Amino acid sequence: MKLENTLRIERAVRRMTQAELAERVDVSRQAINAIETGKFIPSAVLAIKLARVFGKPVEDIFILTEDAIPAEVKE
Amino acid sequence: MALSFPARYRATGIFLAIAGFLCLWVASWEGLINVYRIILPGRTLPDGAYPYPANFWDINAAFGMVSACMLTVGAAMVFLAKEPDEYFYKLRLESIQFAVIAQFVVGLIAFAYFYFTPGYQIENTFQGILGLACGTFLAAYVLRYYANSYFKADQD
C-alpha cells in the first residue's frame, strides 16, 4: 500500500518546522516525521486536521498512488 | 484507554523494571553474600572463605520477592502508560510484536542449548530459561521502542 503525501512541500512553502506543525495538530514531532517519510499512515481524523492546517482538501495532501489501488477496484 | 496511567509514569516504570530485573538476577545468584563481605568484613575466615550468616537465606528470599514485585510493577507501568499520540500507539504495538518474537527465539535457543549440552538437568533450567526470555522481552521492547521513536526520527 502506498499513500504519498505533500506535507514536507507544504511545510517548506510556509516555512514551518515539523515541531510547529505537530503543535498545530496536537501530535508529537516524531509522528509528523513518520508521516512525511511514509513510515506511518495517519488516521482519518489526523489527516483532516493536517489538511485544515494547510487549507487544502485531504486528497491534495494525501495521494493514493496507482499501484496502491487493487485491480478489481480499477475495473 | 481508560485503564492507562498518565504518560509520566513510563520513565519511573522503566527504572523500576530494570532495577527489579538486576536485583532479581543478584538474588538468584546469591550475590547478596558480597554485600555481607563488604558490610561485615570481620567474619572472613583466615583462608579467605566467608561463611553464610544464619539469616542469609531469609534476607535473600525477601530480596528476591521485592525484586520480582519491582519488575512486575515497573513492567505494568511501562505497558499501561498512555502514549502521546496514535503514532506511538502503533510503535508500541510493533515493539511488543518484535519483543515477543525475540523472547520466543531466545527462549528456544536457551532451551536447545541446555537440552543438548551434557551435564544439565533440564528440570533445573526452566527458571533460568524463563528469566532469560522475560529479560529479552523487556530489553527488546525498550530498545525497539526508543530506537524508533527517538533515534530514527530526524529533526527537520
What ipTM was predicted for this assembly? 0.82
Predicted pLDDT at A20: 95
Domain spans of chain A, in order of start = 3-74
What digits encode the pLDDT tens for the residues B79-137?
Answer: 888 888 899 999 999 999 999 999 999 999 999 999 999 988 888 899 889 989 988 99
Predicted pLDDT at B4: 81
- Least CB-CB distance to B86: which of A17, A18, A46? A46
| Shared domain check, B117 and B99 | yes
A31/B150 touch (CB, cutoff 8 Å), yes or no:
no
Fold of A3-74: 434 Repressor (Amino-terminal Domain) (1.10.260)
| Shared domain check, B78 and B4 | yes
What digits encode the pLDDT tens for the residues B45-58?
Answer: 888 888 888 888 99
Asked if A28 is an interface residue toward chain B (Cβ–Cβ < 8 A), one would say yes
Average pLDDT of chain B is 88
Q: How confident is the model at residue B1 (pLDDT cuts 50, 70, 90)?
A: low
Predicted pLDDT at A75: 57
- Which of B18, B47, B82 delimits the end of a domain? B82
| Shared domain check, B88 and B77 | no
- Nearest chain B CA: its distance from A30 CA (Å): 6
Mutate to test the interface with A, among B82, B85, B89, B90 (most CBs of A within 10 A): B85
Predicted pLDDT at A9: 95
Residues of B with CB under 8 A from a CB of A: 84-88, 90, 149-150, 153-156
| Shared domain check, B89 and B77 | no
What digits encode the pLDDT tens for the residues A8-21?
Answer: 999 999 999 999 99
CB A31 within 8 A of CB B88: yes
* Full domain range(s) for residue B94: 84-156
The per-residue DSSP string of chain A comes to: --EEE-HHHHHHHTT--HHHHHHHHTS-HHHHHHHHTTS-PPPHHHHHHHHHHHTS-HHHHEEE-GGGS-HHHH-
Asked if A40 is an interface residue toward chain B (Cβ–Cβ < 8 A), one would say yes
Average pLDDT of chain A is 89
